[in-house]
Structure 1
Amino acid sequence: MAERIFYIVIGSFVLGVTTGSFVLVPESAFLFFILLGFVIFLYFLFLLRHGGEWRIVLCISLLFFSFGAGLWRISFFHEASKNESVAKLFNRSVAIEGVVSGEPDRRETSLRFVVRTDFRMEGQEEVPFKATILVVTDPYQIISYGDLVRVSGLFQKPTNFDTENGRQFDYVSYLAKDGICCQFFRPEISVVASGKGNVVLSFLYDIKNMFVGSISRILSEPEGSLLSGIILGAKHGLPQTLLDAFKTAGVIHIVVLSGYNITLVAAGFSKLFSFLSRRFRFIVPLLAILGFTLMTGASATAVRASLMAALVIFAKTIGRNYDMSRALLVAGTLMILHNPAILVFDPSFQLSVLATLALIYLSPVISQKLLFIPERFGFREIVSSTVSTQIFVLPFLMWMTGQVSLIALPVNFLILVIIPMTMFFGFAAGFLGIISHTLALPVAFVSYLFLHYIVKVVEIASKIPFASVHFISPHFYAVIIAYVILVFLIWRINRSLA
């Protein structure tokens, strides 16, 4: 009974958030469901006192109450997106002063950063104006986390856009999940002061920048930027042609900070230290995940991905996937409770969940079918992890990108087998490079060999004819059907193996 209640509460809450993400429901709607659940719960108490079939009544009351709670939680997101004081300034020249609230994203043609402000300027007068603003400017600008900046230019509302695969990307909601509802495009910027951010985050970003600087000094390009991408998700130094090659080969997840990336890496670390006792087999990969999270500045994306990866390591350590399904549900629900918009509008969160599910449920099944592959050096684990994640995220990626790499499986295997060692020697080289350039060179050379191998594999693979296929994205209902079939097949196979 307790298990049934657990799934009803979480499932109904998630369904409420999902429904409220697509449909703007009035306040009376979620109040109706919450009150209905409460009234039915009173009836449950009556049955409990006077006898009767109370179990079904309790489940129904919790279902309505949790569904209403989900609608109520997502309503805060919609309310925050309706900032009237911001909307009336769109397409006008505006000047604001605020603090850079995250690490700037430097790309080939632009620099993007987020500013949080409490006021705007009208002449010399400060007018209260609370907003979180995306600023897109030239790549040569020197902006750091915690800088107090003055920005003036055309104040714009973000707009959705059509992707190459014919699907409209909801860019407005994607930004809104982080509280961003407005933007400046190439405005005038001046840095007023520095060091206005969180002290802990500033320290973490300083360490990250120090590490990236060390890598850039001891490794040539593109290997240096590739290592920064693999370890820290800092792929901005990679040329666009190489990034396109990674996409074509189906291994872009290696240099993108996502749950898809870190979950695979965590699985590799787990197998790499499989010779240790059960306790240390969990602790060592967990420390690696923690170090990764801190090195990236503990961003929301990194924290979510790291938590999912830690759940996978824990599941493989205790060998009880049943308990892990509940742990994953609780972890995911807590993340949604904190920020309900990530459920529908954050592809990183969605990929994290899918990759985690694949490694918990599908990877063991596939591993049983790959007994001909030796376990030594974690080959079988890497192959089963690669195949399971590729299969499980495929319908979602087809819908989201309209692109399928036909060579993804072999290329992932050729690369992922060396990712743990690449990270180990790369991290050691970067750390030693901070201390001494000469001391780091021998280790950096080993790291370079691994990185150069990855680059060459990707470049060669991406030039294979029909390596990647582009098409119009399938309907979302087709994606749902695909996952229903996948879940059914996994369930049937698990039953046959039991």
Structure 2
Amino acid sequence: MNRWLFEKLHISWLVAAWCLGLTIGVISIHYIPRSFAMNPLFLLVGLAIFVIVAIWRWRFFVILAIISGVLVGLWRGEIGRKGVEIYDSLIGKVAIVQGQVLEDPDLDKNGQTVLRLGNLRMNNEKLPGQIWVTTPDKNSIKRSDIVRVKGKMTAGFGAFSASVYRAKIISAERPVPGDVAVGVRDWFAGRVREHIPESESALGLGFLLGLRRAMPTELSDNLKIAGLTHIVVASGYNLTILVRLARRLFAKRSKYLAMLSAAVMIIGFMAVTGLSPSMSRAGLVAGLSLAAWYYGRTIHPLVLLPVSAAITLLINPQFGWGDLGWQLSFASFAGVIMLAPLLHSYFFGNKEPGAFRQILIETLSAQIMTLPLLMMSFGVISNVALIANMLILPFVPLAMLLTFMSGVLVFVPMIGALIAIPTTWLLGYMIQVTNWTAGFEWAQMEVSINLWQCAVLYVALILAMIWMKKQTKLDLAKINIVE
């Protein structure tokens, strides 16, 4: 037993343990009273402990690595929440706040524009954190615009320090040159709409660029009911399609060219869609997986998950403070990269999965892993999600390609018009499937659970995966999302 404890571990497992601890520390600070400030000594002690862990690398040092990460995470979380106490004095008061629009504006269920503002200022003084704003004003606000809003401050939620509902837009300015990626995206979207009808073009642009605001309200609602929202928002699924396409197109010619083209797609897609929590996770995971593939290495999912979580929280600790998009992103990714291979190996052995079976198992796995969070957060689940995904997901890569060609070839009238025909047909089919599956009376079911029940379900899922891992002896380290 003593010999086993003093065996050397690969450094990647100790880094993963440290990142797990950091994630725990950043999230925990949200529940520690603000009066209990974290001393910078936490950072120094945490780093000193990890240096010792990295030098000796003994197996039982995993516990020390986690403790080291927790200390650093508490320090980073303290920096992230510093100054947010100012909102306590603003709640219930009317205030004028200036901020930068961090993500593309959305429409809520009441038809109001939703803005997520950062880089906040009030009375020429900088405010920490981010705020959630809804407004009935129909301004043509875009990502990166600087806006001044007036309204009554209310308590925040998740990663938002405060909320302002039904705010009045006092002014909106667009910096010069502004967000160039947004300008290019909107220009391209305009070209696509020249030949493809409104609903079909909105769906195609949702696939390709994550554009949601231009989508008809009825179609957007039906996508939610059918469990298809994930394919029309900027997510890891869309990004994975692009990375795999680049790798398969160029890998036989040049591995370097395949890596470079995939990296350009990752950076370009993130620039176009913005750095939402789910997109930050997706881009980071895709980049790490691509680097591992290029150098002929593998990254175990149990290493990749905590490392990517820790990096996103180091950049923005508020992601870990109840941001549902961040949570769902990691849950669905864990389903695809861990649960799906285990399910396939457990039920089908070592047979290579066909396209249909792979889509079925990956979709089911992602839904299983996100189900407890969805039940806790929304109290409803989609009963038709599996059917709708199976009928639509196989055609998403083709729809993305055709939508892209429709925008690029618009300057060649004859060819552009010809490409638009099958594009419209395919997107029209997807809309029909969405409306059909969402139209069933039993399409949704109300199931509400609390935090403890959610935790119990995830513990059960983890135990089930451990059981399947022991039974199948599957090497999860061989799983790479870019292959």
Q: TM-score range by the shorter chain?
A: 0.7 to 0.9
Q: Is the 8 A contact 2:195 2:417 kept in 1?
A: yes
Q: Give the drift of 1:469.
A: 1.7
Q: Is the 8 A contact 1:37 1:63 kept in 2?
A: no
Cα displacement string for residues 444-486 of structure 1 (whole angstroms, at most 9, x for unaligned residues) = 2221111111111111122334232221125232233233223
Q: Is the 8 A contact 1:37 1:60 kept in 2?
A: no
Query: Any residues of structure 2 matched to 1:112-261 within 5 Å, and which?
Result: 112-113=114-115, 114=117, 116-120=119-123, 128=125, 130=127, 133-138=131-136, 140-145=138-143, 147-151=145-149, 153-159=150-156, 171=157, 173-176=158-161, 181-183=162-164, 185-191=166-172, 193-196=173-176, 199=177, 202-259=179-236, 261=237
SS in structure 1 at match of 2:435: helix
1:458 aligns with 2:434: yes
SS in structure 2 at match of 1:218: coil
SS in structure 2 at match of 1:387: helix
Q: Which amino acid aligns with 1:175?
A: F
1:76 matched to which residue of 2?
A: 79
Query: Is the alpha carbon distance of 1:7 and 1:187 closer, same or farther for their aligned partners in structure 2, counting shifts above 3 Å?
Result: closer
- 2:24 pairs with one of 4, 7, 15: 15
Query: Is the alpha carbon distance of 1:307 and 1:322 closer, same or farther for their aligned partners in structure 2, counting shifts above 3 Å?
Result: closer
Q: Give the drift of 1:442.
A: 1.4
| TM-score, structure 2 as length reference | 0.79
SS in structure 1 at match of 2:160: helix
1:110 matched to which residue of 2?
A: 112
| Residues in 2 aligned to 1:331 and 1:415: alpha-carbon distance in whole angstroms | 29
SS in structure 1 at match of 2:82: helix
| Residues in 2 aligned to 1:278 and 1:364: alpha-carbon distance in whole angstroms | 29
Query: Is the alpha carbon distance of 1:230 and 1:290 closer, same or farther for their aligned partners in structure 2, counting shifts above 3 Å?
Result: same
| Residues in 2 aligned to 1:56 and 1:489: alpha-carbon distance in whole angstroms | 23
Query: Is the alpha carbon distance of 1:75 and 1:312 closer, same or farther for their aligned partners in structure 2, counting shifts above 3 Å?
Result: same
- What is the total number of aligned residue pairs between the two structures? 459
RMSD: 4.0
Query: Any residues of structure 2 matched to 1:346-365 within 5 Å, and which?
Result: 346-365=323-342
Cα displacement string for residues 33-82 of structure 1 (whole angstroms, at most 9, x for unaligned residues) = 7788799899x89xx9xxxx995896665443332222222122332322
SS in structure 2 at match of 1:157: strand
Cα displacement string for residues 276-312 of structure 1 (whole angstroms, at most 9, x for unaligned residues) = 4693666665554443223224555433322224455
- 1:425 pairs with one of 402, 405, 430: 402
| Residues in 1 aligned to 2:243 and 2:340: alpha-carbon distance in whole angstroms | 10
SS in structure 2 at match of 1:185: coil
Q: Is the 8 A contact 1:373 1:379 kept in 2?
A: no
Cα displacement string for residues 192-250 of structure 1 (whole angstroms, at most 9, x for unaligned residues) = x5425xx4x62111011112222233221311111121112211222333223222222
- 2:448 pairs with one of 472, 477, 480: 472
Q: Is the 8 A contact 2:147 2:170 kept in 1?
A: yes
Q: Give the drift of 1:431.
A: 2.5
SS in structure 2 at match of 1:156: strand
Structure 2 unaligned regions, length at least 5: 1-7, 477-483
Query: Is the alpha carbon distance of 1:62 and 1:372 closer, same or farther for their aligned partners in structure 2, counting shifts above 3 Å?
Result: closer
Which is worse superposed, 98-107 or 304-313?
98-107
1:399 matched to which residue of 2?
A: 376
| Residues in 1 aligned to 2:240 and 2:94: alpha-carbon distance in whole angstroms | 46
Q: Which amino acid aligns with 2:30?
A: S
| Residues in 1 aligned to 2:294 and 2:171: alpha-carbon distance in whole angstroms | 52
1:411 aligns with 2:388: yes
| Residues in 2 aligned to 1:303 and 1:5: alpha-carbon distance in whole angstroms | 24
| Residues in 1 aligned to 2:446 and 2:120: alpha-carbon distance in whole angstroms | 42
1:65 matched to which residue of 2?
A: 68
SS in structure 1 at match of 2:159: helix
| Residues in 2 aligned to 1:437 and 1:137: alpha-carbon distance in whole angstroms | 40
Q: Give the drift of 1:413.
A: 1.7
Percent identity over paired residues: 22
Q: Which amino acid aligns with 1:444?
A: A
| Residues in 2 aligned to 1:306 and 1:57: alpha-carbon distance in whole angstroms | 33
Q: Is the 8 A contact 1:10 1:66 kept in 2?
A: yes
| Residues in 1 aligned to 2:214 and 2:50: alpha-carbon distance in whole angstroms | 58
2:481 matched to which residue of 1?
A: none
2:14 matched to which residue of 1?
A: 5
Q: Give the drift of 1:418.
A: 0.6
Q: Is the 8 A contact 2:196 2:420 kept in 1?
A: yes
Which is worse superposed, 353-362 or 283-292?
283-292
| Residues in 2 aligned to 1:310 and 1:409: alpha-carbon distance in whole angstroms | 29
